Amino acid sequence: MGWPEGYGRRVLAEIDSTNAEAARIMPDLAGPEWICALRQTAARGRRGRAWVAPEGNFAATLAMRPKETQDVVAQRSFVASLALYDAFAMLTGAEAALTLKWPNDVLLNGGKVAGILLEGLPGGGLAVGIGVNLIAAPGPAQVEEGAVPPVSLLSETGVRVTPERMLDALAEAWAVREHVFVTYGFAPIREAWLARAARVGETIVARTGTRSVTGIFETVDARGHIVLDTPQGRTAIAAADVFF
């Protein structure tokens, strides 16, 4: 396992949030840089939700300046999902127990073990925020009703991984998947993601801020949108929370 060439690496004892730190360092960033915090005091998940992160769990952000248009940049959530999948498989050997949940979660034995948060930064920057339940998972009271129950890597595999080791594995896996994405586009990333996707062919619920759509999960299209077969016909949804 080696640190990928061209990527910066910083491990901080404590920070408010790694995505916030990414925004602070963006003006002086010479190239993509991983920021890992051993403790966060103001961690955030999607839609501004609090992210519960006990010490020993993993919190990191890749700060970068992508060159693509915004719709293509958003497809890096799939790059991140695949990189997490690869890193977990490498660290635990539990490849068969891992699946990917649209749009940005990794599941282990059906429970949520990791989440991803992409945020645009000033000056065309991007923060790819990643949280992993390495040793502990939030309790039921800390999880949205109906959401996939969280699990930890330790509880499900018996493998104890430090944040620093997780960072090294993830950075290596990301560099490989990012190279494919930049070189060949979204198509091979989409194909690899769908091969590991959770609940394809099953009925799911996609909730946006204004509506709830129930249908059979058919595929992810060339834009990264989830496609559901509903009683009203095939529906492609750009952004939503998915419930099983």
Domain-located, residue 2: no
C-alpha 169/C-alpha 152 separation (Å) is 17
pLDDT in tens, 156-202: 999 999 999 999 999 999 999 999 999 999 999 999 999 999 999 99
DSSP string, 124-190: TEEEEEEEE-SS----GGGS-TTSPPB--HHHHH-----HHHHHHHHHHHHHHHHHHHHHH-HHHHH
pLDDT, mean of residues 51-67 = 88
Whether residue 32 is predicted with pLDDT greater than 90 in this model: the reply is yes
pLDDT at 43: 65
Question: Considering just the CA atoms, what is the radius of gyration of the chain in Å?
Answer: 17
Name the amino acid, one letter, at 130.
I
Whether residue 142 is predicted with pLDDT greater than 80 in this model: the reply is no
pLDDT in tens, 61-107: 999 999 999 999 999 999 999 999 999 999 999 999 999 999 999 99
Q: In this structure, are 162 and 228 located in the same domain?
A: no
Distances (CA, A) of 92 to 54, 86, 144, 160, 243: 21, 10, 28, 9, 27
Instruction: Taking the CA atoms of 49, 82, 101 and 76 in sequence, report the sign of the dihedral they define.
Output: positive
Give yes or no for a cis peptide into 103 (omega within 30° of 0). yes
* pLDDT band, residue 123 (cuts 50/70/90): confident
Domain-located, residue 22: yes
Which residue range is the domain that position 211 belongs to? Answer: 203-243
Domain-located, residue 223: yes
Number of domains in the chain: 2
Q: In this structure, are 218 and 147 located in the same domain?
A: no
Whether residue 27 is predicted with pLDDT greater than 90 in this model: the reply is yes
Q: Which residues pair with 165 in a beta bridge?
A: none
CB neighbourhood size of 44 (10 A): 19
Q: In this structure, are 131 and 18 located in the same domain?
A: yes
C-alpha 37/C-alpha 40 separation (Å) is 6
Look over the chain and give the mean of its residue pLDDT values, rounded to a whole number.
93
Q: In this structure, are 138 and 100 located in the same domain?
A: yes
Q: In this structure, are 218 and 188 located in the same domain?
A: no
Q: In this structure, are 182 and 235 located in the same domain?
A: no
C-alpha 130/C-alpha 58 separation (Å) is 8
Q: In this structure, are 78 and 179 located in the same domain?
A: yes
Domain-located, residue 169: yes
Q: In this structure, are 212 and 139 located in the same domain?
A: no
pLDDT in tens, 154-169: 999 999 999 999 999 9
